[in-house]
Structure 1
Amino acid sequence: MTAPNPGANRPGNNLENRPDDWWKSAVVYQIYPRSFCDSNGDGIGDIRGIISRLDHLAALGVDAVWLSPAYTSPQDDNGYDISDYQDIDPLFGSLADLDELVDGLHSRGMKLVMDLVVNHTSDEHPWFQESRDRSSAKADWYWWADAREGFEPGTPGAEPTNWASAFSGPAWHYDEQRGQYYLHLFSRKQPDLNWENPEVRQAVYDMMRWWVDRGVDGFRMDVINLISKQLPLEDGTTVPGQALSFNGSYVDGPRMDEFLHEMNQQVLSGQNLLTVGECPGVSVEQASKYTDPEREELGMVFQFEHMGLDEQQGRGKWALKPLHLPDLKANLAKWQHGLEGRGWNSLYWDNHDQPRIVSRWGDDSPEHRVNSAKTLATVLHLQKGTPYVYQGEELGMTNAGFTSIEQYRDIEILNHWAEATALGADPAELLESYRVKGRDNARTPVQWDASDKAGFTTGEPWIEINPNHTQINAEAAVADPDSVFHHYRQLIALRHELEVVRDGVFALLEPDHEQLFAYTRSLEDEALLVLANMSSTECQLPTDLRQDGELLLGTHAERADDRLAPWESRIIRLS
């Protein structure tokens, strides 16, 4: 049942505490609610658990919390399949709990960003259930189509187009009640909304306004650049292992700018909300349009180019290859330069869809984990844009280390395993790919202390807790002044204190160096030099980078003028 509008019962819109462009000097912390903290012992994190840990976030110094979906949901894709946009799933609590979370954040000077999932709903959403009736008022609120000509409906090959789901199998499912196929770019239980229908768009905008009135300070928009499809819906050129690869079929479609501008005018304009659109496949040019303030669309986007640099081109995320550092530097520099003076970058390594960065591109061995986590953070946070910290990243949490398919919970992995093993793939190779790149690496519970259940729950956790929580946990990190946590805290403080960190121009140095990530940030007469050894062996510094200046933050107490220790990084204010 949809809750009533909060009206006068809530403090309401937080606009007075949202100055213009506040998010450009902010750091955002992402919470995946089922894995953050469990308050009631059912093994699943919840909103009251989040409330109990707000002082941890305040001590870290972050400005906003992005809350992954906690709406009513059948949980087919861990909440990204929403059946009621205006209520909280009992698994996570209640609207009253959410209101208390908003108040708790605001009272500590932090803001709340909600996950907005409007490319698709759950198939259990009342809108979709009504849409299954061809005579209903919502008959065209979703993408419905007849079987391919010459094929029996419901049989292999009868799907209206050859599009593939991101979660394996066709992107169409036959609904016997309606006698047609519906489109689902993700799970079969996540039918795509038809944004061509203005009634759909208005329903979405009404819902967004309802949340803003309730005190929400922004939206992270899930796969938002898929809402405009190229008409008519036709077959595309497929790329094995890459579902979302059809040129223009449904990525950055022809009405994207129109839809985003309309959303901006109807919901966002004048509200000073943080808006970030998750945009798989987006180009620098398109992103600069989406984030150009004069176009009035979005504040920033999440792009994924750098996240594909450790996969074999054209073979998808499970075809692994080592990261080549010059490729990473070139890609990040491309986005820094491409949006300079036009749009705004988002900066991230980790999120709920990515493995832990310290295991992926760092060195999670006991010898180097702390310094590699710090150095990866330094490289990211000193760039221009809004940094995002994913829960546990500030502790240097590592990948899960799962060794069997039974340990995984992610629909993407479970579907891929079933499909790939049926086609004869080597199970050992699949498990190795999942160990390195699987999404469940990010979804193991946050490690709060060294106790049996890591301070996450008193019950049986919904997914296994990483055994290394006895060494890697928040209690130990906060107590250790040289921990990853305190390095993140200092990085966040630098962004708040120094205008050059927010607005300075980025310039990459030594682009071809295979160990060293070096760049400057400059603004008027101030300049910062960032030096980072991105390897587990010593790195000799080029002569011209042996600069005098004030060390603002470094990983190592003892420093050499001509070299960097393994995973050493320095932030230097140049004389």
Structure 2
Amino acid sequence: MVFLRRMLAVAALASSLSLSAQMLSRPGWAGSGMSSDPWWQHAVIYEIYPRSFQDSNGDGIGDLKGITQRLDYLQSLGVDAIWLTPIYPSPQVDFGYDISDYTAIDPQYGTMEDFDNLVQEASRRNIRVLMDLVLNHTSDKHAWFVESASSKDNPKRDWYVWRDGKGAGTDGKPAPPNNWQSLFGHSAWQYDEKTGQFYYHCFYPQQPDLNWRNAQVKQAMFDAARFWLNRGVAGFRLDAIDTLLEDPTLADAKESSGTNAFGDPNVDKSQQMGLPEIHGILRELRSVINNAPGQRLLVGEIYTKSAAELASWYGAKNDELQLPMNTGVGFTNKLDVTAFREKLEAAQTQLHGNAPLLVFDNHDNPRSWDRYGDGQHNKEIARVLATILLTSRSASLLYYGQELGMVTATPERKEDVKDPIGILGWPKEKGRDGERTPMQWDGGAEAGFSKAAKTWLPIPTSSMAVNVEAEQKDDQSLLKWYEQLIALRRSRRAMREGQQILLNHDADNALVWVRKHQGVTATSPAVVVACNFSDKPVTLHLKSDITKLGLRGQFLRSLMRSDYGMGPMNLDGVKLEPYGVYIGEIHY
């Protein structure tokens, strides 16, 4: 029986990998036809925080079987891929971003068989699976670090960044090698009593940084990537990729006045982030990806000050990241039409023709509903943001619950905080629990997420009204708006492949652009998208702007309207209600 079970498991895995390989080799899905572009170029990627998506076994924590149970929902939404935040074995100090084994599944999320089944079932629905790959650091419980910390002459000592202290501190204890700080508060150096040296950690002390100048480290991490590629994953989202190397001179950082949320001096972190040598590592990793069959993808977590800076992460020969995250647009954090126009224009003109990956929400920041909402027009503003995200020339990244209008449920008491950042930085820094609360599937006691009496994070009371079940029944819900936008980008060639040309009409109040593809015809027209950023009605006169683009047109045939009207619009009389949206095809 044991042999038979093993044979059946091997057969199931082979079937899964065959199905996944077939899908990974297909070009981009375009709804009404297949695009010749790579699948990821116009993709809608959906971030899942596994602890919070669906609990299948009643322990209050989401798991892989739960995600598999909800694939039909994701298919109906229209996503092309899901990105799973870390599901590897971990002490869970940073909820999975402290990894103790890169080639296994944490038992709280399930088994490798559960993972293989998820990949297979997702593939049947034309959904690809991306893994989160944390290259910068491991857990301090990883076997590599345990060996490294065992003695100064251990073969794996140089797999991490160990240094002698710099004399004695004011308290008589050894002083760290320099004044660098962890991004999560306090010194970036942890003293090890046993060996009398410090190790470097850009994040928590339980997350020691790997030494990427050691060729063995590089080989081991690339082998981990190959392990998952061979199991059928479509690629990786690379966590904190710009922290991969640090300045080898270890010179002290410049300090500026004031203190941060953790009470530390403000120091310049340019010696800890964004070093040019990182690009060489990314080119090597891209070669690993390219050597796998099918179209595999590298997404990078990048926070840059400009689109021109972001452009470098694609690589001089487009041989690094295919989709570095463009957070400059979605994290403007102010509904400022001028700022949005400038940032969208930069994304179209300063990335050397590469597709931007727009993102408004993720597991590390308060939800966009709260960052942009004014407390009165939040739903209308959320529709505007969704429209920018899904009708721009870009790939798009959604965060679970964003499509519902989930809110940030920040803990009100320190004793309720689970995120170590919030515990350390309270009350100035309250952590990231608020944007990680369970998915809201229905209006029941535990929102359809779990049958447990208590979930790992509490269910917000907003779930009684804001949930999948309720919004699927409401044709004017935010969820329906997202579904329609995603369907529109699949069904209209202009929305899928066209240029994005921003117009300046009524520049103080409205953001307007045209999606125009080669070979515009009466049966495949260009599309106008208009968003009102003000709380007052706006009328747009677009005829002359459209004519200057070489487009013939007299009126717009409505595709989507936030006022839910159905009639056409005259090009010189496009009316938008406060925070209204209009999308229409140009006809003559």
Structure 1 and Structure 2 fold alike (TM over 0.5): yes
- 1:328-349 deviations in whole A, cap 9, x for unaligned? 33223222321142x2211111
Q: Which position in structure 1 is the counterpart of 2:163?
A: 145
Q: Which position in structure 2 is the counterpart of 1:490?
A: 484
Question: What's the TM-score once normalised by structure 1's chain length?
Answer: 0.87
Offset, 1:485:
1.5
Which amino acid in 1 is paired with 2:160?
Answer: Y
* Residue 264 (structure 1) aligned to one of 286, 310, 322: 286
Q: Secondary structure at the match of 2:513?
A: strand
1:529, 1:340 → 2: CA distance? 24
2:171, 2:330 → 1: CA distance? 36
* Residue 467 (structure 1) aligned to one of 431, 440, 461: 461
Q: Which position in structure 2 is the counterpart of 1:380?
A: 389
Q: Secondary structure at the match of 2:62?
A: coil
Offset, 1:201:
0.5
Q: Which position in structure 2 is the counterpart of 1:254?
A: 276
Q: Which position in structure 2 is the counterpart of 1:424?
A: none
Q: Gaps spanning 5+ residues in structure 1: where?
A: 311-321, 418-426
Q: Secondary structure at the match of 2:398?
A: strand
* Residue 567 (structure 1) aligned to one of 579, 583, 586: 579
Q: Which position in structure 2 is the counterpart of 1:399?
A: 408
Offset, 1:198:
0.8
Which amino acid in 1 is paired with 2:495?
Answer: V
Q: Is the 8 A contact 1:230 1:254 kept in 2?
A: no
Q: Is the 8 A contact 1:114 1:220 kept in 2?
A: yes
- 1:98-153 deviations in whole A, cap 9, x for unaligned? 111111101111110000011111111111111112111111111111111x3259
- 1:2-60 deviations in whole A, cap 9, x for unaligned? xx9x9874343633322351111221111001111111111111111111111111111
Q: Which position in structure 1 is the counterpart of 2:110?
A: 93
Offset, 1:528:
2.1
Q: Secondary structure at the match of 2:355?
A: coil
2:481, 2:543 → 1: CA distance? 23
Q: Is the 8 A contact 2:517 2:526 kept in 1?
A: yes
- 1:135-175 deviations in whole A, cap 9, x for unaligned? 11111111111111x32599678111211111111111111
Q: Does 1:554 align with 2:553?
A: no
Q: Secondary structure at the match of 1:98?
A: helix
Alpha carbons of 1:250 and 1:405: their partners in 2 closer, same or farther (altered >3 Å)? Answer: same
Alpha carbons of 1:440 and 1:323: their partners in 2 closer, same or farther (altered >3 Å)? Answer: farther
- 1:465-491 deviations in whole A, cap 9, x for unaligned? 110111110111112222211211111
Offset, 1:279:
1.6
Q: Secondary structure at the match of 1:72?
A: coil
Q: Is the 8 A contact 2:576 2:582 kept in 1?
A: no
1:270, 1:95 → 2: CA distance? 21
1:374, 1:448 → 2: CA distance? 20
Offset, 1:293:
8.1
Q: Secondary structure at the match of 1:518?
A: strand
Q: Which position in structure 2 is the counterpart of 1:315?
A: none
Q: Which position in structure 1 is the counterpart of 2:32?
A: none
Which amino acid in 2 is paired with 1:467?
Answer: T
Alpha carbons of 1:518 and 1:129: their partners in 2 closer, same or farther (altered >3 Å)? Answer: same
Alpha carbons of 1:247 and 1:445: their partners in 2 closer, same or farther (altered >3 Å)? Answer: closer
Q: Which position in structure 2 is the counterpart of 1:421?
A: none
* Residue 360 (structure 2) aligned to one of 339, 349, 352: 349
* Residue 320 (structure 2) aligned to one of 297, 307, 314: 297
2:335, 2:380 → 1: CA distance? 19
1:84, 1:108 → 2: CA distance? 30
Q: Does 1:136 align with 2:135?
A: no
Q: Does 1:16 align with 2:22?
A: yes
Q: Does 1:528 align with 2:527?
A: yes
The 5-angstrom pairing of residues 410-421 of structure 1 reads: 410-417=419-426
The 5-angstrom pairing of residues 205-220 of structure 1 reads: 205-220=222-237
Q: Is the 8 A contact 1:229 1:254 kept in 2?
A: no
Q: Secondary structure at the match of 1:88?
A: coil
Q: Does 1:540 align with 2:558?
A: no
Q: Which position in structure 1 is the counterpart of 2:371?
A: 360
1:506, 1:532 → 2: CA distance? 14
Which amino acid in 2 is paired with 1:136?
Answer: N
Does 118-127 or 503-512 show the bigger shift? Answer: 503-512
Q: Which position in structure 1 is the counterpart of 2:493?
A: 499
Q: Is the 8 A contact 1:80 1:117 kept in 2?
A: yes
Q: Is the 8 A contact 1:407 1:463 kept in 2?
A: no
2:267, 2:111 → 1: CA distance? 38
Q: Is the 8 A contact 1:362 1:376 kept in 2?
A: no
Q: Does 1:479 align with 2:473?
A: yes
2:196, 2:173 → 1: CA distance? 16
Q: Is the 8 A contact 1:330 1:511 kept in 2?
A: no
Offset, 1:402:
3.9
Offset, 1:375:
2.0
Which amino acid in 1 is paired with 2:380?
Answer: N
Question: What's the TM-score once normalised by structure 2's chain length?
Answer: 0.85
* Residue 81 (structure 1) aligned to one of 98, 102, 113: 98
Which amino acid in 1 is paired with 2:363?
Answer: H
Alpha carbons of 1:467 and 1:118: their partners in 2 closer, same or farther (altered >3 Å)? Answer: same
Q: Gaps spanning 5+ residues in structure 2: where?
A: 1-5, 28-37, 545-553
Q: Is the 8 A contact 2:129 2:233 kept in 1?
A: yes
Q: Which position in structure 2 is the counterpart of 1:317?
A: none
Q: Which position in structure 2 is the counterpart of 1:109?
A: 126
2:197, 2:505 → 1: CA distance? 53
- Quote the sequence identity (%): 37
Alpha carbons of 1:230 and 1:473: their partners in 2 closer, same or farther (altered >3 Å)? Answer: same
Does 270-279 or 63-72 show the bigger shift? Answer: 270-279
Alpha carbons of 1:107 and 1:182: their partners in 2 closer, same or farther (altered >3 Å)? Answer: same
Which amino acid in 1 is paired with 2:581?
Answer: S
Q: Secondary structure at the match of 2:229?
A: helix
Alpha carbons of 1:411 and 1:492: their partners in 2 closer, same or farther (altered >3 Å)? Answer: same
Number of positions where the alignment pairs a residue of Structure 1 with one of Structure 2: 539
* Residue 279 (structure 1) aligned to one of 276, 282, 302: 302
Where do 4+ consecutive residues of structure 1 move more than 6 Å?
242-245
Alpha carbons of 1:323 and 1:109: their partners in 2 closer, same or farther (altered >3 Å)? Answer: closer
2:511, 2:103 → 1: CA distance? 45
Q: Is the 8 A contact 2:43 2:79 kept in 1?
A: yes
1:323, 1:138 → 2: CA distance? 50
Q: Which position in structure 1 is the counterpart of 2:548?
A: none
Alpha carbons of 1:340 and 1:512: their partners in 2 closer, same or farther (altered >3 Å)? Answer: farther
